[in-house]
Amino acid sequence: MAESKNRSFCCVPGCSCCNQKQPYLSFHSFPSDQATRNLWIRAVRREEGPNFSVRKGNTFICSRHFAKEDYFGGTTISRLKSGVVPSLFPWNNFTAPLKRESVFERVNKRQLVPSQADDNSAASKAIKMDHDYVTHPPAGALDEALGYIEDLEARLKRVDLPSPTLFSRYCASDDQIRFYTKFPSEGLFRIFWESIAPSASRLVYWTKAKRIGDEACPEPSPPRIMPLIDEFLMYSFRVAVGMKEQLIADMFNVSIATVSRVTITWANYLFIVLSSVKIWIKREKVKLSMPPKFQKYCPNVRVILDCTEIALENASSLTLQSETFSNYKNRTTLKGLIGVAPCGLITFISPLYTGCISDKEITKICGILPILEPGDDVMADKGFLIEDLLAEVGAKMIIPPFKHSAQFSKEETAKTQAIARLRIIVERAIARVKSFHIWDSPVPLTLIGSVNQMWLNCCVLSNYQGPFCLEE
């Protein structure tokens, strides 16, 4: 039963003490006496076998499981007495087990009453009982216990316990939140949710909102069939994860019509909330957030522009097919313009147009030109023939230098590389937007009325994913 000085762990189930983490404890090896050792093994509720064996210098019990009376001097830093057995464990709350009285001691605890046979005698006669466990409870004890139980049941019914949500089931970690909602962490999602929950609690479903527009005196909105945060999770399943409506309906145990109604309602609600956020950055802030490596060659860049297309389901109308057909993608698409600051933040989002429209035409009608200021530099792909449009507002197009001799100079090569690195930022921003898996397959025509709202929501929410790593 010597105390260990090396690295030691307690072998008692439920105890994780170690002499490195708890240096104030002492660790004792099992006694060499076989009888006492068996008592120790039985006390810790373990059996020697394939999963446990007592090894000298390797199997220990810490001082938490011994009483002070087990040590010489009454302190745990002293030596254990011979023949003691550990008795303090998690299953008895680290308290010494009470010593049960013997049957002889219990039987001899007699209740003394005056003898009715001999009134002059001062002696008492003991009423002998065979066993104490046959003693009946006091009168009224069962009624009192029954009343106490009924009172507890009534109090439990009055407690308003929150019902478990599917969000707490599917979004229990940062990785799950990142997968299902595209928010990078639970903390960031909570900040976003607390900012929209008060207004979202007053949402009216899409069909009810449509009825309100048709009726003069609308009826109050029907009660919700699921928690508010589960409605947002349903929208995220449809947009961020790209699940089909039938699968979502089966997971939430609702109808497909309910999934469509909740998706459209939340798409329009988030569009109203997020479109009110001013994402266009002032020129001074753009320069402050610009990566240092690009300030040398492109110090006045205000925005980087690029167009992107998303697939659209074919329409039965030939006229609509011809308007949405894209020669670049060789299929029917919707096309939008995105503007990104040099720091990687999306600062401009255009509506979606039919796929046959040109990049120059989108730039002309989407609203980016009025917000540019004289002296701003705009970077775009070589396919953007918008120099004349930018010149009208005093802005300038940034393009790589043209080859005018046998080879570029060292400075021209460095400038070309810098512009190429800066140009790729808009591609990475678009990739974040398209990581919302609703864009993986062609957009169904049933969502054509909400596709612009979903597009803006995805663009703005992608900014919550944090800055890009712009190091070489």
pLDDT tens by residue, 351-386: 999 999 999 999 999 999 999 999 999 988 877 888
Q: Is residue 314 part of a domain?
A: yes
Pairing of strands 331-340, 346-349: antiparallel
**Same domain as 60, residue 205:** no
Query: Using an 8 Å Cβ cutoff, are 359 and 338 in contact?
Result: no
- Which residues lie below 8 Å from residue 164, measured CB to CB, with a gap of 6+? none
Q: Is residue 158 part of a domain?
A: no
Q: Which of 275, 309, 341 is the last residue of a domain?
A: 275
Residue ranges making up the domain that contains 270: 166-275
Q: Which of 98, 118, 146 is the last residue of a domain?
A: 98
**Same domain as 418, residue 289:** yes
Report how many domains make up the chain. Answer: 3
Q: What are the tens digits of pLDDT across the range 82-131?
A: 889 998 888 777 776 555 556 566 666 554 444 444 444 444 444 444 45
The residue written with tokens 């009715």 in the block is 116
Higher pLDDT among residues 150 and 4, named by residue = 150
- Identity of residue 135: T
Q: What pTM, to 2 d.p., does this model score?
A: 0.63
- Which residues lie below 8 Å from residue 235, measured CB to CB, with a gap of 6+? 262, 263, 266, 267, 270
* Token pair belonging to 42: 């039985």
Query: Using an 8 Å Cβ cutoff, are 233 and 180 in contact?
Result: yes
What is the total residue count of the chain? 472
* Token pair belonging to 416: 């070309």
**Same domain as 295, residue 196:** no
- Which residues lie below 8 Å from residue 25, measured CB to CB, with a gap of 6+? 17, 19, 62, 63, 64, 76
Q: Is residue 154 part of a domain?
A: no
**Same domain as 410, residue 321:** yes
* Token pair belonging to 439: 């864009």
- Which residues lie below 8 Å from residue 105, measured CB to CB, with a gap of 6+? none
DSSP for residue 9: B
**Same domain as 89, residue 219:** no
